[in-house]
Amino acid sequence: MTDSSSAEDRETAIPRKGAARTAKLASLPIGIAGRAVGGWGRRLTGQSAEEVSATLSAKAAEQLFEVLGTLKGGAMKFGQALSVFEAAVPDEMAKPYREALTKLQAAAPPMSTRQTHRVLAEQLGRTWMQRFSAFDDEPAAAASIGQVHRATWHDGREVAVKVQYPGADDALRSDLRQLQRFSRLFQAFVPGTEVKPLLAELSDRMNEELDYQAEAQNQRAFVKAFEDVPGFLIPRVVASAPKVIVTEWVTGTPLSKIIAGGDKDARDRAGSLLTEFHYSSPERAHLLHSDPHPGNFMLTGDGRLCVIDFGGVSRLPEGIPQHLGEMTRLALDGESSRLMRLLRESGFIRADADLQADDVLAYLAPFTEPLAGETFHFTRRWMQRQAGRVGDTRGRDFRIGRSLNLPPEYLMIHRVTAGSTGILCQLDAEIPARAIVERWQPGFAA
């Protein structure tokens, strides 16, 4: 019985037993703590603090993302969510994180061909092969809870077939429970970013991520909203089932490759289109694509931004709340008293918080720098400064940040905006951010 169970785990490529997954996740804090002890030993033998720190960071990043990538499910989903904050990691630590994250975004161990065919038969019917004129059994890409195959539909269209891993639902639930236990450990990997709410939000969205038919409906809504908008391409849905989704195949350059080696024009164009997509979606589609990581975006040969993976979507029937635009404008203009009043009225400041208007403005104003001029150059250095400023436990900004409150209805918007900003900094993009925000963010235009 043990042997057949192990074979099934290998076949599905996603460890299904909670004990096995928990053991892998539990190895992370133990391994990192062990390396820290070893680091003190190397300090005693004469290595500098910087050398030891860089070594520990490289090993910790390698272990962290190797485990997350192998586990897939919620662990890989969390790793992808962390990936957009790589730009906030100090330069001396960034290289191993960057390499590990790129690897995580791009690939994970695949299912066996037999298991893939079994899922397709369960979801599309026993005659599923007749719906395709060709099907490549070798996965073209991996997602957090599924893998993608290239195929040709019976009418000749090139299509992408996303197949959900068997046991993904159990794995997702198990991972997120375990990851929440270790949230303080992961906090060190992303300074200035709150990991615990990120994990809570991923857990809340779990059922949406698992339902590919719901994802298909989301994708159809985005197709309709952007089909006549220059510069964008949303692949059409061809067929869907609860655990399989078939969409048009699109060839392009993933943002991860543009980040790694794209020229300035490609970086700037990708950054501009990504920003427009983020800010315009709530008005055009009344939806917000809520899974911002480089693996979900690519530039096509004719310069369009292709967006994929609509499992995580936030519904905004009234668009982006006007208060957010008003607050941004007041912070940009230095209107501390009016900003403070609006923050209190909107629930961003706790009733018992003892804060001064000028201190709150000093905390928020640096975040509006990208909107101060006609263009802004998003860099890793800029994001590192912001992360260091709000993450320094000895500083005033850390204390002020802890006194502010983020109402639940704004959590998703805040996280997606932060994630998109992280990608812009990875891209090193210079873009007309102010004009885009003025066009699409209600309440911001003067």
The whole-angstrom separation of Cα 243 and Cα 215 is 10
Say whether pLDDT at 90 is over 50: yes
pLDDT of residue 82: 59
Residue 118 CA to its chain's centroid (Å): 30
- For 369: left if phi > 0, alpha if psi spans -120 to 50, otherwise beta; the answer is alpha
296 DSSP 8-state letter: G
Tokens representing residue 327 in the block: 């607050």
Residue matched to tokens 């820290």: 36
| Percent of the chain predicted with pLDDT > 70 | 67
429 is written with which tokens? 């993009």
- pLDDT score at 67: 58
**Position 10 confidence tier, pLDDT thresholds 50, 70, 90:** very low
**What are the tens digits of pLDDT across the range 294-337?**
889 999 999 999 999 998 899 999 999 999 999 999 999 999 99
Is the Cβ–Cβ distance between 25 and 19 less than 8 Å?
no
Of 97-106, 147-156, 282-291, the least confident: 97-106
pLDDT in tens, 376-434: 999 989 988 888 888 777 888 888 888 888 787 888 898 889 889 999 999 999 999 99
For the residues 186-207, what does the mean pLDDT come to? 60
Q: ∠ CA 304-308-312 to the nearest 5 degrees?
A: 135
Among the ranges given (88-102, 287-301, 330-344), the one the predictor scored with the smallest mean pLDDT = 88-102
Structure tokens at 353: 């918080």
Does pLDDT of 8 surpass 60? no
Arithmetic mean of pLDDT, 165-173: 76
Going by the DSSP 8-state scheme, the letter that residue 392 receives in this structure is -
> Is the four-CA dihedral 212, 214, 220, 225 of positive or negative sign?
negative
Q: What is the pLDDT of residues 26-47, one digit of tens each?
A: 554 444 333 333 332 333 333 3
Question: Do residues 191 and 96 lie in contact, with contact meaning Cβ atoms separated by under 8 Å?
Answer: no
How far is C-alpha 297 from the chain's CA centre?
11
State residue 146's pLDDT score: 84
Average pLDDT over all residues of the chain: 79
Most confidently predicted of 50-54, 94-98, 114-118, 192-196: 114-118
Task: Decide if 147 contacts 115 (C-beta within 8 A).
Answer: no
Alpha-carbon distance 222 to 217, whole Å? 9
Point out the least confidently predicted range of 164-173, 189-198, 251-260: 189-198
